[in-house]
Amino acid sequence: MLWRYDPEKGFALDDQRQRNLNWELIADERNPSPGQAINLLVPVYNYSLVQLDNIDVHFFLGDPRTGGQFIGETTTGPIPPRGSVTVALPWTVPTPFMRFPEIYAVIDPDNTLEEVHENNNLSFNTFLLSCTTDCPIPDLSVTPASIRFDAETFTNSIVQIEVDVNTAEDVTDAVVSLFNGTLQQGTRIGDYTIGYIEEDSTGTALFTWDTTGLPPGTTPFRWMCGAKTANW
């Protein structure tokens, strides 16, 4: 398993995303840059009383349950009873690339092992990339006024959200990410790629968000395009 099943720890988390968040899923280089060769690292735990051997571990960019992109795979080797091993997957960060990618790790993806708990074999973490001269940033801007949605139909409904991105130069494939909450710990509503934005003009990213079951109250947004972020 990638994380201990949380009701066994004496408290339960209602938010499945927070249950899957794994701070131990990291890279061996802090804040890598696009084009940099790194290793993705994640510990795999064996809480059973028998040794486990050669467990497959798959890595994805984005949630594999909703179309995340397969990055690569590796195996654990032997894991002693009540022990753990850390697996490493070599990966070269693509160029260009989003600033805050979510990397997922899935163990035993083909469900070949019989386990007490099957729903803690997936976890993710949000990575922060640094931008160097090899990662040029277009002159994009987003502001609190950039977001539009129908606030009257916000609760327990499907909400259409639009985010405007302004640019001072021609831009292709501008990736806009929208979060409910903070970039690191909030819920990622989605990513939208604006294929082309002409110089001195505005492109619009479109998002669909199901707010069913959300508690009433203020809902903070944060969105990001390239290295630029804004709050609402």
Domain boundaries, the chain: 6-126, 140-231
Burial class (CB in 10 A: 0-12, 13-18, 19+), 70: middle
How many other CB atoms are found less than 10 A from the CB of residue 100?
18
Q: Is 22 helix (H, G, I), strand (E, B) or coil?
A: coil
Per-residue pLDDT averaged across 127-134, rounded?
Answer: 65
Tell me which of 81 and 114 has the higher pLDDT. Answer: 81
What was the pLDDT predicted at 15? Answer: 62
What was the pLDDT predicted at 53? Answer: 92
Same fold? 6-126, 140-231: yes
pLDDT at 52 over 80: yes
Distance CA 202, CA 196 (A): 10
DSSP-derived secondary structure for 56-84:
EEEEEES-GGGTPEEEEEEE---B-TTEE
> pLDDT (tens digit, 9 = 90+) per residue, 143-187?
667 788 876 666 778 888 898 888 877 777 777 888 887 666 677
Tell me which of 79 and 115 has the higher pLDDT. Answer: 79
**Strand partners of residue 225:** 176, 228
What was the pLDDT predicted at 10? Answer: 44
What was the pLDDT predicted at 84? Answer: 93
**Strand partners of residue 89:** 40
pLDDT at 9 over 50: no
pTM greater than 0.95 (yes/no): no
Closest listed residue to residue 98, CA positions, set 230, 231, 226: 226
pLDDT at 42 over 50: yes
pLDDT band per the 50, 70, 90 thresholds, residue 188:
confident
Q: Which CATH number fits domain 140-231: 2.60.40.10, 3.40.720.10, 3.30.1370.100, 3.40.50.720?
A: 2.60.40.10
Q: Considering the domain 6-126, what is its CATH architecture?
A: Sandwich (2.60)
